[in-house]
Amino acid sequence: MNRGAAQARLGELWRRGTAFLGTRYAILGGAMTWVSERHLVAAISNGGGFGVIACGAMNPDQLAAEIDGTFALTRKPFGVNLITMHPQLAELIEVCIAKNVGHVVLAGGVPSRAAIGRLKEARRKVICFAPALVMAKRLVRLGADAIVIEGMEAGGHIGPVSTSVLAQEVLPAMTDVPVFVAGGIGRGEAILAFLEMGASGCQLGTRFVCATECVAHPRFKEAFIRASARDAQPSIQLDPQFPVIPVRALINRATVRFAETQREVIDLYRLGKLDQKEAQLRIEHFWAGALRRAVVDGDIENGSVMAGQSVGLVTREQLTEEIIDELLEQGLAALMARAESRAAE
């Protein structure tokens, strides 16, 4: 297989994804709060992928400004990721509609029928996250146009199942809408493997943190470059009576203190000095502002350095276009090597 044939084959594999996204490559940028803003989003889209703004806790005016800022940097398609638990979700949806955002990702919980319905009424494409096949099917019934399945290798808030297992569960059974795979993906060979399993494309977050265009603090990027896969660990829950939503991040002083804080709070509860609600709130408030502290301020010891296990594959700062080209070259090289191996048999 020559290079042209390999390119044609890769194009066939992710044609459904590229058609859905309106992009050259079916590579989505993961929405990372404080990281996935206009500069990185536009760079991913300009590089042939699909950038996604992380709305996070933005209010409607802030989101409108971010969308305008992104349009000023690219005319390529991009999307907006909205958290379903945001108190102003309805208003944020209206901003996306008014600003002509073609794709909206609803994440962080099960979206309501009303939220999906409003976007569909406005002819916007709706992308939803599904942690299991049963949820993927439910979301499609609610009107989702595409699904993202994200394994526990991802950075930030994670589920309990690995990417490879989710892919085996969902991809053979979910063929009526495009499915994008995410979690721990950092090389083109992995993208190729999931495409051949039936995925329409892949989503990568950690791999883009050290893009030159990313505005994250230099110390935040340095932490990624130094880290290995085993440094990205999920947060620890000490007592099932006080649940902790698992978040994968690089181990630092804050992660150690979080375990100590849980123990102190649980002891106070058992001594009757705190009721359960107060104790739970103390545990939950530990990480308030911690992600901004790390990404924006560069405090990588006392902030939350959210990173996926693919962080070990991040070895230097690169232009976004170079990262995308590298992923593409790795996938094409794998296709050509496989063809050569078969020809030699």
Convert the pLDDT of each residue in 175-208 to its tens digit: 999 999 999 999 999 999 999 999 999 999 999 9
| Residues 6+ away with beta carbon under 8 Å from 306 | 32, 155, 156, 247, 248, 249, 291, 294
Confidence class for position 33, pLDDT limits 50, 70, 90: very high
The pLDDT assigned to 339 comes to 79
Mean pLDDT score, 217-234: 98
Q: Which fold has domain 3-214+315-340?
A: TIM Barrel (3.20.20)
The pLDDT assigned to 341 comes to 77
Residue 277 has pLDDT above 90, yes or no: yes
The pLDDT assigned to 169 comes to 97
Q: Where are the domains of the chain?
A: 3-214+315-340, 228-306
Confidence class for position 287, pLDDT limits 50, 70, 90: very high
Mean pLDDT score, 75-99: 97
The pLDDT assigned to 6 comes to 94
First to last CA, the chain: 14
Confidence class for position 128, pLDDT limits 50, 70, 90: very high
Mean pLDDT score, 299-322: 98
Give whole-number Cα distances, 323 to 12, 153, 222, 280, 320, in Å. Answer: 22, 20, 17, 41, 5
The DSSP-derived string for 198-239 is T-SEEEESGGGTTBTT--S-HHHHHHHHH--GGGEEEPP-S-
CB 151 within 8 A of CB 183: yes
Mean pLDDT score, 76-91: 97
d(C-alpha 287, C-alpha 227), whole Å: 21
Confidence class for position 156, pLDDT limits 50, 70, 90: very high
The pLDDT assigned to 342 comes to 75
The pLDDT assigned to 338 comes to 87
Residue 296 has pLDDT above 80, yes or no: yes
Confidence class for position 340, pLDDT limits 50, 70, 90: confident
